[in-house]
Amino acid sequence: MSKALILGGDTGLLGQALTMVLDKSNWNVETLGRRNGNLLDPQFLQASLEKISPDVVFNAVAWTAVDDAEDHPEEAGILNRTLPHSLARILSKSKTFLVHISTDFVFSGAGYTPHKEEDEPQPTSVYGRTKLEGEKAVLALIPERSCIVRTAWLFGPGRKNFVDTIISACKHRDTIKVVHDQTGSPTYTLDLAHWCRVIAEKRASGIWHAVNSGQASWCELACEAVSLAGASCRVEPIATSEWPQKAKRPVFSVLDNGKLAALIGKPPRPWTQALREYIFSTYLPAQQGEDAC
């Protein structure tokens, strides 16, 4: 039985999905988060890794507040660059494999062709830049015993995400306005956790783009979520310029998942299918209960 250590496995959106999926796949799973101690203290980190002695570490801890990162570049850098660097340095003395999670926001989003693993990153935000620096730190120190899994636009159980925000907004409003001129790869955390498991089991080093198939704008994702949830709210498309945000987002950050498809033996299922599973399992049982009352 392989032993996994999941950083952020108790509380993170992806961390919890990894914990669930690996647990079900008969991995011996341990988690580590700030409840256990200060992950940013290299001595604590080293002692924890030595004590747990995992076969694979999954790093799902990050500074994920994209706009706040613009005001807190140091803090974002400590989580997104220094932590993976410390992890890789500590693991360089062991046989442990590291699965480090990264983001589509390492790309500038120019052009309209899905980004491949070998495409040149060019982040436009502090978040994207610090995540790219984290990737580089890992690949420089343990290239043979690590992988970078870039993903995007996550939805799934356990922690509030874009889809939850939209469905919740629809309960209180007749109309919501959602940006339609940014396009990406909506991805289900439980699918992503499954691909991460396969990548880890195969010790598949290098960079992987791990997203559900298809692409959408935020507005299209919101429309699909509203429709699947059976809400009657109107979703109105707006331009990015009408929804000013501190961090600059890529216009087109769709990731090409062809390399992952070859590894897992089939294309990842479409995001629409995964979203249906998420919404039906998360929202519709509750709604059916409410109807019954």
Catalytic residue among 112, 127, 278, 283: 127
* Nearest-approach distance from CB 5 to ligand NAP, in angstroms: 13
Q: Closer CB to ligand NAP, residue 39 or residue 221?
A: 39
- Tokens representing residue 142 in the block: 């343990």
Separation CA 76–CA 83 (nearest Å): 10
Separation CA 121–CA 19 (nearest Å): 30
Among 6, 12, 170, 197, binds ligand NAP (CB under 6 A): 12
Q: DSSP class of residue 92?
A: T
Task: Give the interface segment with ligand NAP, choosing from 61-69, 116-124, 164-172, 208-216 (CB under 6 A).
Answer: 61-69
- Tokens representing residue 191 in the block: 């699918």
Separation CA 96–CA 147 (nearest Å): 12
* Nearest-approach distance from CB 229 to ligand NAP, in angstroms: 19
Among 22, 45, 57, 61, binds ligand NAP (CB under 6 A): 61
CB 239 within 8 A of CB 173: no
| Spatial CA neighbour of 155 closest among 21, 1, 25, 276 | 276
3-class DSSP assignment, residue 77: helix
Among 34, 173, 202, 234, binds ligand NAP (CB under 6 A): 34
Burial call 202-219: b when 16+ CB within 10 Å, e when fewer: eebbebbbbbbbbbbbbb
Q: Closer CB to ligand NAP, residue 18 or residue 169?
A: 18
- Does 13 help bind ligand NAP (rule: CB under 6 A)? yes
What residues does 149 pair with on adjacent strands? 101, 208
- Does 154 help bind ligand NAP (rule: CB under 6 A)? yes
Among 66, 101, 225, 279, binds ligand NAP (CB under 6 A): 101
- Does 8 help bind ligand NAP (rule: CB under 6 A)? yes
Separation CA 94–CA 80 (nearest Å): 22
Name the phi and psi angles at 63, rounded to 5.
-85, 105
Q: Closer CB to ligand NAP, residue 68 or residue 181?
A: 68
- Does 131 help bind ligand NAP (rule: CB under 6 A)? yes
- Does 82 help bind ligand NAP (rule: CB under 6 A)? no
- Does 152 help bind ligand NAP (rule: CB under 6 A)? yes
Residue that is written with structure tokens 């001595």 in the block: 43
| Spatial CA neighbour of 181 closest among 109, 122, 133, 121 | 109
Among 4, 18, 39, 275, binds ligand NAP (CB under 6 A): 39
- Does 103 help bind ligand NAP (rule: CB under 6 A)? yes
Known catalytic residue: 127?
yes
Applying CB under 6 A, the residues found at the interface with ligand NAP are 8, 11-15, 33-34, 39, 60-62, 64, 79, 101, 103-104, 131, 151-154, 159
